[in-house]
Amino acid sequence: MQFLRRHSAFALSALLVFAAGCGVGQFGSVSANGIFSVSASSTVSTSSGQVQFSARLPSDDPAPVVWSVSGGDNASSLGQGHIDANGTYTPPSALSQDAVHIEVTAHLKDDPAEVATKTITITPGFVQSLLPETASLTPGSTLEATAEISEVNAGSVHWSLSTDAPPGSDPVP
């Protein structure tokens, strides 16, 4: 019995040490020396949403920081999004993958060498780009349209063109 208690105590101690090492919570990231931390309103967002970041000192006062998007795995031609001086991150309007990871960095204004980072995941909003966005056609002409649509959960999208006119208008010949 003594053997079982000793191993149970060891396992519980290891679990507590592991949990304590997990940081300041699901949404926080502490700088290397604990001078300030950053948090995000969400760790996952869609390309049509925004994420609000904040920086806090250990006293829980706001930390004066300069925000930047320091990296990400979205295609460079589409960009990684941007963050304003107030910590509002706006994702790129189109994504090169089903989910991309974006790293946001805060530099302490008084000491730019002090940094804290937070990585978030961006998934596509419902409709991605449709090209061309608008077009006019003459009778008998054709147009090739391309689109990326997400969140249809392995379903399919069917396109159709109808000559049915809305009530009160002339039908297309």
The half-sphere exposure of 87 on its side-chain side, counting CA atoms within 13 A, is 19
**Cα separation of 74 and 53, whole Å?**
20
Beta carbons of 31 and 65 less than 8 angstroms apart: no
**Rounded Cα gap, residues 123 and 41, in angstroms:** 16
Q: What is the pLDDT along the chain (173 residues), one digit of tens a residue?
A: 444 444 444 343 333 333 333 333 334 454 545 789 999 999 999 988 999 999 999 999 999 999 999 999 999 999 999 999 999 999 998 888 889 999 999 999 999 999 999 999 999 876 555 667 677 888 888 877 766 555 444 445 566 666 666 666 655 55
> CATH number for the 23-125 domain, one of 3.40.50.300, 1.20.5.510, 2.60.40.60, 3.40.190.10?
2.60.40.60
pTM for this prediction: 0.59
Amino acid at position 131, single letter: L
The two tokens of residue 30 are 């502490």
Residue type, 15: L
